[in-house]
A and B are shown apart, each in its own frame.
Chain A
Amino acid sequence: MFTRRKFITTSSVAFAGGATGLANARDARGKPESVPRQDKSYSRSLPAYEGLAPGQPGRDYTPVITPNNQSLPWKVVDGVKVYHLIAEPVDHEFAPGLKAKCWGYNGRVHGPTIEAVEGDKVRIYVTNKLPAGTSVHWHGLLLPNGMDGVAGLNQKIIRPGETFKYEFTLVQHGTHMYHSHHDEMTQIALGTTGPLVIHPRNPSRPRPDRDFVFMLHEWRIDVGTSRPNPNEMTDFNIFTFNARSFPGTAPMVARLDDRMRIRLINLGAMSHHPIHLHGYQFPIVETDGGQIPESAQQLETSVLTAVGQSRAFEFTANEPGDWAMHCHMTHHVMNQMGHDFPNLIGMQAGDLDQQIGSLLPGYMTMGTDGMGEHGMHVQSGHMQVPKNSIPMVGGPGPFDYITMGGLFTILKVRENLASYDDPGWYEYPQGTVASLASDSDLRRDGIQVARSQP
């Protein structure tokens, strides 16, 4: 059987002339003996993959789960996997209460996940229904230069209404992405990107039971507007897992002891994201450059994913509960945070509200003790916000309001699961939840708390 090690050696030989990237690939020891010129054909396979049937879900791989999205359907024509991406404007919901006119693929933002198996021959049609020209770049893939998708450099721009054909063989596995490579600033800011997952033909590790893929992104959608602003360079206000902001993110659901893989891809404009998973330690097993040798892995609790990178980490879901997973940059767990107002923390509003209320009925001083209550004010309905906008933080939780937004989602691990549908909030075993200390507790442990005057 063909192994990964063998493939790399082989592909080194095959690619060394054209792809320096490969020459740097891990484990490409030794000089290739011969340097064949690249096949003139835009599509070609490697001898090692000849005769392999197109990879099938279940048989060859466990399909990935793209929370809040799905995989792109395909069919096999004469041994080639055929996909059809349609770049088009999409009305997309980021979270309940916030929709925007974006650009995506096949009616989705981001585009659906393209899934395939190492060695598959793929033919991907790209139809442009956008009002502007576009192209698709297969980010991180090893392929003939003419398939790389940089408009102008490697191909003509796909004009509106045109359908282009990309055809190549997948000579690697890993977590990758596809995205527009024409007027990137605009098109990626509007959402034209999607995950591209290539499963290994012969995995070196056990297949995961639950394989999640997340695309990280950032957007500027001003409160009360309904289109991402691609001109924004630094002050983004919507941060998303698969183009959804908490509380719009669907949870990851796992059975106790499921083997988990979480793939993160960052294709935001400007920000890196240290994604932190609670409750577990894990090694990062893959980058977009391929697998990390076990000897080089280390345990982490946060995964820093830079723009244009992917990371995959694995663990066993052996601790039940509702575990938060979120970016650890605090402004990345806010929704539509404004920055154009004075710092109000600690201000004594006193009778100011009454004074201002006579000029502006409905006025309320907010933020004197933080932003935590903003979402509650908005969601309780007593404070109106502009249409098509969501509060800076939060959604209701089982105990209290969850004061997080943006890049925040939940891993739900349960012992008994009939299905992987959202099981609701975790039911905590008696006595395992932090709670108000009783007076007898305090007395017993000699904890003195000065009573504050009300």
Chain B
Amino acid sequence: MRIDARAMAVLLSTILTTGCASIPENAGFGGVQTTVAERTGQRVQWNQDTDADQAAENAVRRMLRQPLNVDAAAQVALLNNRRLQGVYEELSLSQAGLVQAGLLTNPVFSTAVGFPLDGGSLDLSFSIVQEFLHVLYRPLRTKIAGAQFEATRLRVAEAVIDLAADVRGQFYHMQADAQRLEFLRRVVRTTAVSAEAARRLYAAGNITDLDVAREEALYQESRLALVTAQTRLVQDRERLNALMGLWGNDTQWTIAPRLPEMHDLPFESANLEQRAIEASLALGAARKEIEAATASLGFTDATALIPILESGVDAEREEGEWEVGPSLAFPLPFFNQGQARLVAARAELRRAQQTYWAQAVEIRATVRALRYTALSACNRARHVQEVLLPLYTRIVNHTQLQYNAMQIGIFQLLQARQQQINAGLRYIDTLSEFWLARVALEQTLSGSLAEVDPVSMAEIPTGDLPAISIIE
């Protein structure tokens, strides 16, 4: 068959233009924004040198001028953390992969010139070979890449929520440490007057060097504990600075130096696991990855025997005549029948499935554990607040009475005061445990707990710690 050059050009252009696509803007970031907003009520912004960048920066500046609360701190981090901005680029990369999947491989054009030994006219031959199966499997490939892209989108949203949770946790850490400082200052005041009393008793000739040294040691220990706690507070602050992406003058923010009281409570266990499974972005991503692997296995299946199939058009001018005809070339599956690839792909799929399953089980356990931790911490915090602290206050009052009756001395009285302060420290421990468990639970549920039913106040036993059973 002979064709003219025009026919050749049409053929070529047809092949070349098939599957051309453009990269969409924002690479699905809108979806991430929607997910984050729905789950946390917070805004994310992908800085791509637009006016919106400046608006986000202004919002950050505005928030930093006020004393930060936990939501504002998380919002600052979401808008200002450059590592997160880096994570958004995953979207671009994944999007690029998706586009790539839709593109055909470029056809291979080959030409051959034959020099007849007998001096006849040159033999010219052209061939355009397009990998034929590539065209054939384009929808499948797009499907795989689409699932992978979806997975990426979910993982990006997960990264956002993880960052928010990190900030919230760190925020409560810092508040707890700041509040501890308040109590440790009181401890120092107590040991200071105790040491002062010892020094005065010593000056009067009434106690030994040993006694004074002991009181002095207690005082110096408490000072060391205070300075250690101050150091922790600085560390807390710097971790928050890192998470919020702040440096220079922006690090002058303030927060309330004490944990919030427990205004909401731990959560009903009913459906909590189910909710966690449904809401989990990580699981969603894993599901998409399984979809991709499944699709990938289908692909592998089909190409198992003949993984590469090239098709093309051979054009040959023989003896001055153009001959055009289809050409077909394929490897003969004598040695590699694709078994290895098939096994590997099936293994990939099974691995993804098993991992998914394990992850779901882990999430369920985590949710139960966190719920229990939050419930227990809530219970313990209330126990400390409503039972222990009043008890230690009673102890101080009665120690004071015993002191007044001259049954005990100043040191015992101050020790009772210190015990009371220590109970205050334990309250902070349990309260921060509660807030941290709450943050972790939110993180595991990939979002806000606002829609989860709280346990009613009356159902939480007080003053009776063993009331929480480990087996429900």
A: residues with CB less than 8 A from B are 222-224, 336-338, 340-350, 352, 355-356, 358-360, 362-368, 371, 374, 377-378, 383-386, 389, 391-392
Contact = CB atoms under 8 A, between A and B. Distances in A.
Given A347-B201, A358-B189, A342 B410 contact: yes
B398 A224 contact: yes
List 9 A-B pairs, minimum CB-CB distance, nearest first: A341-B409, A338-B407, A346-B204, A385-B405, A343-B206, A347-B204, A386-B401, A223-B405, A355-B193
Task: With a 10 A CB-CB cut-off, give which of B196, B201, B396, B408 has the most chain A CB atoms.
Answer: B201
A156 B64 CA distance: 89
Given A344-B206, A359-B417, A392 B406 contact: yes
Contacts of A342: 201, 206-207, 211, 409-411
A216 to B, nearest CB: 24
A359 B189 contact: yes
B405 A389 contact: yes
Given A342-B206, A349-B200, A366-B406, 17 more contacts: A223-B402, A223-B407, A224-B405, A337-B406, A340-B409, A341-B408, A342-B207, A346-B204, A346-B206, A350-B200, A355-B189, A358-B189, A360-B414, A362-B400, A364-B404, A384-B400, A392-B405
Contacts of B400: 360, 362-363, 384
Interface in B368-415: 396, 398, 400-414
Nearest to B401: A386
A385 to B, nearest CB: 4
A358 B211 CA distance: 24
Contacts of A336: 405, 407
B205 to A, nearest CB: 7
A170 to B, nearest CB: 46
B94 interface: no
A374 B406 CA distance: 8
A418 B281 CA distance: 102
Contacts of B406: 337-338, 341, 366-367, 371, 374, 392
B152 to A, nearest CB: 59
A356 B192 CA distance: 10
A346 B205 contact: yes
A356 B206 contact: no
Interface string B401-441: 11111111111111001000000000000000000000000
Contact of B206 (A345, A350, A362): A345
A223 B408 CA distance: 11
B186 to A, nearest CB: 7
Given A342-B411, A350-B200, A224 B401 contact: yes
Nearest to B416: A360
Task: With a 10 A CB-CB cut-off, give which of A348, A360, A362, A371 has the most chain B CB atoms.
Answer: A360
Interface majority SS (helix, strand, loop, mixed), chain B: helix
Contacts of A338: 402, 405-408
A339 B229 CA distance: 38
B450 interface: no
Interface of B: 186, 189-190, 192-193, 196-197, 200-201, 203-207, 211, 396, 398, 400-414, 417
Contacts of B196: 352, 355
Nearest to A341: B409
B203 A348 contact: yes
B201 to A, nearest CB: 5
A336 B404 CA distance: 12
Contacts of B412: 340-341
Contacts of B190: 359
B404 A356 contact: no
Contact of A360 (B396, B405, B409, B411): B396
Task: With a 10 A CB-CB cut-off, give which of A336, A363, A374, A384 has the most chain B CB atoms.
Answer: A363
B200 A356 contact: no
A417 B309 CA distance: 140
A373 to B, nearest CB: 11
B199 to A, nearest CB: 10
Contacts of A222: 407
B404 A385 contact: yes
Contacts of B201: 342-344, 347
Contacts of B410: 341-342, 356, 365
Nearest to A347: B204
Nearest to B407: A338
A222 to B, nearest CB: 8
Contacts of B405: 223-224, 336, 338, 378, 385-386, 389, 391-392
A383 B412 CA distance: 18
B206 A352 contact: no
Contacts of A352: 193, 196-197, 200
Task: With a 10 A CB-CB cut-off, give which of B205, B400, B411 has the most chain A CB atoms.
Answer: B400
A364 B405 CA distance: 12
Nearest to A389: B405
Contact of A383 (B396, B404, B408, B417): B404
Contacts of B402: 223-224, 338, 386
Nearest to A382: B404
Nearest to A339: B407
A383 B414 CA distance: 18
A363 B407 contact: no
Nearest to B206: A343
Nearest to B186: A359
B124 to A, nearest CB: 105
Contacts of A340: 407-409, 412
Given A223-B405, A378-B404, A383-B404, A363 B206 contact: no
A359 B193 contact: yes
22 contacts: A223-B407, A338-B405, A338-B406, A341-B407, A341-B410, A342-B207, A344-B204, A346-B205, A346-B206, A349-B200, A356-B193, A356-B197, A356-B410, A359-B186, A359-B193, A364-B404, A366-B404, A371-B406, A384-B400, A385-B404, A389-B405, A392-B406
Nearest to B409: A341
Contacts of A337: 406
B412 to A, nearest CB: 7
Contacts of B197: 347, 352, 356
Contacts of A389: 405
B398 A386 contact: yes
A365 B413 CA distance: 12
Nearest to A391: B405
B401 A345 contact: no
B66 to A, nearest CB: 33
Given A350-B200, A359-B186, A360-B396, A384 B404 contact: yes
Nearest to B190: A359
B223 to A, nearest CB: 16
A363 B413 contact: yes
A342 B406 CA distance: 10
A363 B404 CA distance: 8
B409 A356 contact: no
Contact of A359 (B403, B409, B414): B414
Given A340-B409, A341-B407, A342-B201, A356 B401 contact: no
Contacts of B211: 342
A79 B160 CA distance: 107
Contacts of B408: 338, 340-341
Task: With a 10 A CB-CB cut-off, give which of B186, B196, B396 has the most chain A CB atoms.
Answer: B196
Contacts of A341: 406-410, 412
A222 B405 CA distance: 11
A307 to B, nearest CB: 26
A56 to B, nearest CB: 49
A273 B412 CA distance: 33
Contacts of B204: 344-348, 368
Nearest to B189: A359
Nearest to A340: B408
Nearest to A371: B406
A383 B400 CA distance: 10
